[in-house]
Amino acid sequence: MKKSLFSFRAMALLAVAFVALGAQAAGVDIPALVASNPHMALGLTGFAMLGELDGTSIMKALDAVENKLTAMSEKADGEMKTLGKVATDTKTALENIGVEQRTLAERLTQLEQKGSAPGKDQPEDTSWGAQVVKSAAFEAFNAGQTQKARIEVKNTLTGSDVTVAPDRRQGIVPGAQQTLTIESLLRSVPTSSNAIEFTREDTFTNNAAETAEGVAKPESAITYTLVNQPVSTVAHWIKISKQLAADNAALAAYVNNRMTYGVNRKVETQLVSGLGTGALLSGMMKTGNYTLHGYLSGALGSTLPKLVLIRKILADLWTAGYPADAILLSPADWAQIEIELFTTPSNTVRVSVDANGVTRLFGVPVIQSVGIAADTFLIANFAQAYTLYNREGVVVELSESDSDNFTKNLITVRAERRLALATEIPAAARGGDLTPPAS
């Protein structure tokens, strides 16, 4: 904004300088006008100290000078009407002001150029979008050396990495972005296959007991199931103009704020609620991927029943050998639980926030997720129950040979990710209705 104002002012002052020379030729006596208006002289003297003024002060001073020049012009017009000519002293004054105006315009131009000089200490942008536009594949695509580009961005970015510096946004303001929380709960390992196969323990009957010498030892029993979990692909695409693709900052913003986020936002939901049919991920809340808690409302009493239910399940998991590492709730359900707790001051001690800002209930972290439906919940030792297998991180591809892109000067941008969620110990996760039925 300041840059454009400086440019406008500089051009305006140069124009006024030429007007002053024209007025001189017309016979305006500027010294007399300046002598009769000492505040004008002070204003011009202030301009000589332009390098010591900030942008706001300069703009205010320029407004004042323009007002004075308007008054001078009116005086010269009056002299022409009454005397038939402009006084000699007015002409001289206009000439002097013209010289000062030109000098001031040059200083404004210098200040503008100085202000627009790029900084030398800009931090390196390592966001997903920056990785795309800095990649050799994108450079070759943008230079017309290939009709397709494939770039796999690194999935090791943290919170601040997705923030695009203002000078790189180019007017693109992102929409809402949910905080993604589920993946942080899970073990994550790479895979090079299109399917995950493992043997899962179903039941363990432990008949271990003390036995006398010479007596047959008791037999325990374990049943297993061979599980094959296919890798799923989560993807979407948009079309953009070639002009946008040529604007690195704007393209980076699209990749960061929509394409990559859109993929991971869908993954967040499917990791919890994926049905596991066809190409869909098999989510945590799919039947068979967790253990129903089995409680009815009558066993919970009438005082804070949701809280009682959560506490009972924490105890059940501990007893089974799977101490919970997180409680998964929808934002609406967690808000309702907190409201119920805070209505009685003595109950607020059950909720705490640790040094890292993590909210805890009964000492266990509470994770809010948009992926879980309202009035349902899941409490688990997530690190034991589930493993996330990453076949590919988010891959961004660009192509102008899709449909009629070439004739319309468009480019298709596609982002996709390949992964699978394996439920290895369903007994380590318990959940279901947060408001169970009476019978």
Q: What is the pLDDT of residues 148-181, one digit of tens each?
A: 888 877 654 444 444 444 454 445 566 777 788 8
Cα distance between residue 218 and residue 206, in whole Å: 9
Q: Please compute the mean of the pLDDT values over residues 126-143 and round it to a whole number.
A: 82
Q: What is the pLDDT of residues 25-49, one digit of tens each?
A: 445 444 444 444 444 444 444 444 4
Q: How confident is the model at residue 233 (pLDDT cuts 50, 70, 90)?
A: very high
Q: Which residues pair with 431 in a beta bridge?
A: 292, 378
pLDDT at residue 231 in the model: 94
DSSP state of 165: P
Residues 155 and 81 in one domain: no
Cα separation, 97 vs 70, whole angstroms? 13
Q: Is residue 26 one of the residues assigned to a domain?
A: yes
- 109 and 131 together in one domain: no
Asked if residue 88 and residue 173 are part of one domain, the reply reads no
Q: How many domains does the chain have?
A: 2
Residue 7 has pLDDT above 50, yes or no: no
Are the C-beta atoms of residues 150 and 397 closer than 8 Å to each other?
yes
Rounded to 10 deg, the angle between the 88-115 and 2-26 helix axes is: 160
Q: Does residue 387 share a domain with residue 272?
A: yes
Residue 214 lies in a domain: no
Pair (340, 243) in one structural domain? yes
Has residue 193 been placed in a domain? yes
Q: Is residue 32 part of a domain?
A: yes
Model pLDDT, residue 383: 93
pLDDT reported for residue 133: 81
Does one domain contain both 31 and 157? no
Confidence at 51, pLDDT banded by 50, 70, 90 = very low
Residue whose tokens read 């997720």 = 369
pLDDT at 58 over 70: no
Largest CA distance in the chain: 140
Higher pLDDT, 322 or 357: 322
Residues 89 and 180 in one domain: no
| Helix, strand or coil, per DSSP, at residue 231 | coil
Domain co-membership, 298 together with 201 = yes
For residue 21, pLDDT over 60 is answered with: no
- Residue 151 or residue 311, greater confidence: 311
Q: Tell me, what's the pLDDT at 70?
A: 61
With beta carbons less than 8 A apart as the criterion, state whether 314 and 324 touch. Answer: yes
Q: Are residues 110 and 129 in the same domain?
A: no
Are residues 437 and 334 part of one domain?
yes
Does residue 298 fall inside a structural domain? yes
Q: Do 111 and 178 reside in the same domain of the chain?
A: no
What CATH number is given to the structural domain containing 193? 3.30.2400.10
Full residue range of the structural domain in which residue 27 is found: 2-115
Determine, yes or no, domain membership for 285.
yes
Per the model's pLDDT, the better-predicted residue between 45 and 336 turns out to be 336
Q: Which of 37-46, 255-264, 312-321 has the highest mean pLDDT?
A: 312-321
**Residue where a domain stops, chosen among 115, 135, 169:** 115
Q: What's the average model confidence in pLDDT over 337-363?
A: 77
Task: Answer yes or no: is 211 within a domain.
Answer: no
Q: Is residue 184 part of a domain?
A: yes
Question: Are 142 and 264 members of one domain?
Answer: yes
What are the phi and psi torsion angles at 431 (to 5°)? Answer: -175, -160
More confident residue, 84 or 336: 336
Report the range of poorest mean pLDDT among 93-97, 178-182, 280-284, 312-316.
Answer: 93-97
Helix-helix angle 55-83:2-26, to 10 degrees:
20
Query: 85, 115, 145 — which closes off a domain?
Result: 115
Q: What is the Cα–Cα distance from 326 to 304, expressed in whole angstroms?
A: 20
Mean pLDDT of the chain: 77
End residue of a domain, out of 115, 144, 167: 115
